[in-house]
Amino acid sequence: MGKYHPHGDYAIYESMVRMAQPFSYRAMLVDGHGNFGSVDGDGAAAMRYTEAR
């Protein structure tokens, strides 16, 4: 991911996390599996602990 985006893979991962959280958008845009954070402000787990499709 980082090779194709000018800001590296962290910017892509943060966007993907927001799209996988059911409380961030009206509808989930990414089907995520793993720890993607909570409403209480807990952050998402590292990239190696999450999967998305």
Domain that holds residue 42: 9-52
Active site includes 49? yes
Cα 32 to chain centroid distance, Å, stands at: 8
So what's the pLDDT on residue 31?
93
Phi, psi of 33 (to 5 degrees): -130, 120
Largest CA distance in the chain: 33
Q: What CA–CA distance (Å, rounded) separates 13 from 38?
A: 16
Q: Is residue 21 situated within a structural domain?
A: yes
Q: What CA–CA distance (Å, rounded) separates 35 from 25?
A: 17
Name the residue with tokens 């499709």.
53
Residue 5 has pLDDT above 90, yes or no: no
Q: Is the sign of the CA dihedral 7, 28, 35, 40 positive or negative?
A: positive
- How many distinct structural domains can be found in the chain? 1
Out of 10, 13, 25, 49, the active site residue is: 49
Q: Is residue 4 situated within a structural domain?
A: no
| pLDDT confidence bin for 6, thresholds 50/70/90 | confident
Q: Is residue 16 situated within a structural domain?
A: yes
